[in-house]
Structure formats: structure tokens, C-alpha cells
């Protein structure tokens, strides 16, 4: 597992990561979510020993990554910028990595297969599309059969098929009992991929909970009611203890009260023109949560949209 304790990183006066604490557990996919510049990459780089913490610690399986005797067997990582010699065929790139890290050559074909690159293994990496390049980066991350996998924005720039592939792979790796940490700035993508969410904004941890809890807590829902007798209906619902709010020509009641609204209106002979369950999207919930932590954000309203 990964344990991060009061981890802080300052670049001069600027604090990129501000005393965060979290634990990433095995067997599930943990999503590391935050707007641009929130501190995701810096945190991941500290986990991987590429940046030195200003204070605090980041431990992988109980020790610092740089103290691991065989790092590639312990942690497989895909960072945003990965160095691949453009003239070298994909298979040779992986062979070189395996040899220089004392890993068995047999792993190369195994990870090519896992990444769906067997057919193109002889092609030069420089000719690869973005999606194939990401697959090669992931193949390299899996070379040491690591128990911990860290992927920084793996779906960035990928087409829907590539995104679905990453999602499936992450879930398979977690189901094998591995610890999987994936960063993203896309809430909707993480909601589909991650079991657990760590939400970060301006270097601070804003949420550390299961994806389901996040949805339950942050994605609000209500029932939209329209009726030509709105005023009378408002009084009727309020008389029966329903919490009604009026927004222009619509009434809103809690999501659980849809059937009661229908029953009460029907019983009183009132006409309904609409009875719709409305959900604010998770993206809205994420933007609301991180609104104060975004460096530059547009002024457009994020009013709840229908699911
Ligand atoms: N080497 C560096 N020197 C100075 N500032 C840095 C450095 N690396 C990151 N920062 C700053 O630290 C903050 C966090 O950056 P980081 O890259 O960790 O964010 P992020 O959440 O990964 O965002 P993104 O999705 O845009 O990559 C940003 O304000 C960034 O400008």
C-alpha cells in the first residue's frame, strides 16, 4: 500500500502540496482527482522518489521508494512525460528496460500481450499514436509485475476505446490484489473507474471517501414538479409536510417524495405537467467542491443539469 503522511512540497514561496495525509489500499482502484495545478503530479512524484518532500513522508509498502531493493518489482508507474527512444522498436525498449532492471526477458512478451501491443511490437515507438504510446508506457510499468501501480493522467488524449481499455485494465489489476492509484481531472471518468476517491485542491485534501459516498454526499438530486395549479399544489404539499421550494414556475421537492407528489395531486384532482427526477452531475459536484481551489476558472454557472 501507499502511505502519505503530512506530505508537503514547496517550490520557493509556492506550496504545491500542503500537509496531506492518505492511505492507498490494495485490491481497489483509488482515483486521485483534482483540477489542473492541484498537486497530483507533485504528490505522485514524491511517492516515486522523483521529488524530495519539503516535509512529511510517502511510503510504498512501508518504505521510501528509493530504499526499495528492486523498485520496478515494487511499483510500476506511468508519468505524464515518459522517455522512449523514438527510433527503438517497442519490444527492444521493453527488453532494454527489463535487462537494466534485472527482470526476466520473458516478462517482455507478457506485458506486450497485456497491453495489446504484440502485433506492433516490432514497430518503432516514435511512430506510435498517442494511445499506443500510452499502452507502451503501461507495458513498461507492468514489467516488474509490481504490487503497486501509479498512473498519472493515463486517459489524457485517448479515444473512447483507449479510455475503456485503461478502465478495464485498472479494475483487473486491482482485482488481482494490487494497489492502484490513478490521477485525473475528470470526475465523470473517475466515477466509472475508481472505488475510492482522493480529491485534492490547491495542495490540500478535500475528500477521502468511497466513490459511492462521494456521489451520495455531493451529487444533489430533487424532483421537479410543474402544474398549472402550482400555487394550490405548493400549499397542498406543504400541508402534508413536504419540503417544497419554488423556482420560477417550478416546484422542487426532495427526490424521495416523487410518488407522494403524484398521489397527493391525483387525490386532489390537480393536473401535473411534469414530475421529473433531476440530478446534478458529478462534474458539477466536483466543481463546487474544488471551486475555491482552482487557480483560474470560468464564471459560467454550474446549475444542476438533468442526468
Ligand atoms: N518544478 C516545479 N517548480 C515550480 N513549481 C512547480 C513545479 N512543479 C509543479 N509546480 C507547481 O505546483 C503546483 C502543483 O502542480 P502539479 O503538477 O503537481 O499539479 P497537478 O494536479 O498534477 O496538475 P496538472 O493536472 O495540471 O498536471 C502548480 O501550481 C505547479 O505550477
Which atom from ligand 1 is nearest to the alpha carbon of 34? Answer: 21
> Could you read off the pLDDT of 171-190 as tens digits, one per residue?
999 999 999 999 998 888 88
Task: Give the per-residue pLDDT at 157.
Answer: 74
Low-confidence ranges of the chain (pLDDT < 50): 296-307
Task: Give the per-residue pLDDT at 145.
Answer: 93
Task: Quote the ipTM score.
Answer: 0.94
* Residue 41 Cβ < 6 Å to ligand 1: yes
Question: Rounded distance, CA 105 to CA 125, Å?
Answer: 19
Going by alpha carbons, the residue nearest to atom 8 of ligand 1 is 42
* Residue 35 Cβ < 6 Å to ligand 1: no
> Could you read off the pLDDT of 240-258 as tens digits, one per residue?
999 999 999 999 998 888 9
Which atom from ligand 1 is nearest to the alpha carbon of 45? Answer: 18
Task: Give the per-residue pLDDT at 88.
Answer: 83
Task: Give the per-residue pLDDT at 81.
Answer: 56
* Residue 201 Cβ < 6 Å to ligand 1: no
* Residue 184 Cβ < 6 Å to ligand 1: no
* Residue 37 Cβ < 6 Å to ligand 1: yes
Q: From ligand 1's centre to the CA of 44, what distance in Å?
A: 11
Q: From ligand 1's centre to the CA of 203, what distance in Å?
A: 9
Which atom from ligand 1 is nearest to the alpha carbon of 12? Answer: 4
* Residue 40 Cβ < 6 Å to ligand 1: yes
Q: From ligand 1's centre to the CA of 52, what distance in Å?
A: 14
Task: Give the per-residue pLDDT at 303.
Answer: 37
pTM, entire model: 0.81
Task: Give the per-residue pLDDT at 95.
Answer: 93
Task: Give the per-residue pLDDT at 293.
Answer: 62
Amino acid at each position: 500500500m501507499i502511505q502519505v503522511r503530512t506530505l508537503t512540497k514547496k517550490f520557493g514561496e509556492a506550496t504545491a502540496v500542503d500537509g496531506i495525509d492518505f492511505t492507498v489500499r490494495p485490491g481497489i482502484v483509488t482515483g486521485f482527482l483534482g483540477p489542473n495545478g492541484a498537486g497530483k503530479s507533485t504528490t505522485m512524484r514524491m511517492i516515486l522518489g522523483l521529488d524530495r518532500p519539503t516535509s512529511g513522508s510517502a511510503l510504498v509498502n512501508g518504505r521510501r521508494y528509493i530504499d526499495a531493493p528492486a523498485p520496478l518489482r515494487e511499483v510500476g508507474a506511468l508519468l505524464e512525460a515518459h522517455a522512449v527512444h523514438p527510433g527503438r522498436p517497442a519490444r527492444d525498449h521493453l527488453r532494454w528496460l527489463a535487462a537494466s532492471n534485472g527482470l526476466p526477458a520473458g516478462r517482455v512478451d507478457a506485458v506486450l500481450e497485456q497491453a495489446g501491443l504484440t502485433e506492433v511490437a516490432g514497430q518503432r515507438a516514435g511512430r506510435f499514436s498517442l494511445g499506443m504510446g500510452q499502452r507502451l508506457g503501461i507495458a513498461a510499468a507492468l514489467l516488474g509485475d509490481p504490487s503497486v501501480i501509479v498512473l498519472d493522467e493515463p486517459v489524457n488524449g485517448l479515444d473512447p476505446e483507449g479510455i475503456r481499455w485503461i478502465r478495464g485494465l485498472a479494475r483487473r489489476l486491482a482485482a488481482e490484489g494490487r494497489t492502484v492509484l490513478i490521477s485525473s481531472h475528470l470526475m465523470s471518468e473517475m466515477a466509472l473507474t475508481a472505488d475510492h476517491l482522493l480529491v485534492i485542491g490547491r495542495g490540500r485534501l478535500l475528500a477521502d471517501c468511497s466513490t459511492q459516498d462521494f456521489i451520495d454526499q455531493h451529487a444533489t438530486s430533487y424532483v421537479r414538479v410543474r402544474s398549472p395549479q402550482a400555487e394550490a399544489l405548493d400549499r397542498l404539499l406543504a400541508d402534508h409536510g413536504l419540503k417544497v421550494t419554488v423556482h420560477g414556475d417550478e416546484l422542487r421537492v426532495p427526490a424521495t417524495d416523487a410518488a407522494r407528489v403524484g398521489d397527493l395531486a391525483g387525490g386532489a384532482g390537480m393536473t401535473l405537467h411534469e414530475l421529473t427526477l433531476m440530478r446534478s452531475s458529478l462534474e458539477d459536484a466536483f466543481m463546487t467542491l474544488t471551486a475555491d481551489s482552482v487557480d483560474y476558472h470560468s464564471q459560467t454557472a454550474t446549475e444542476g443539469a438533468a442526468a
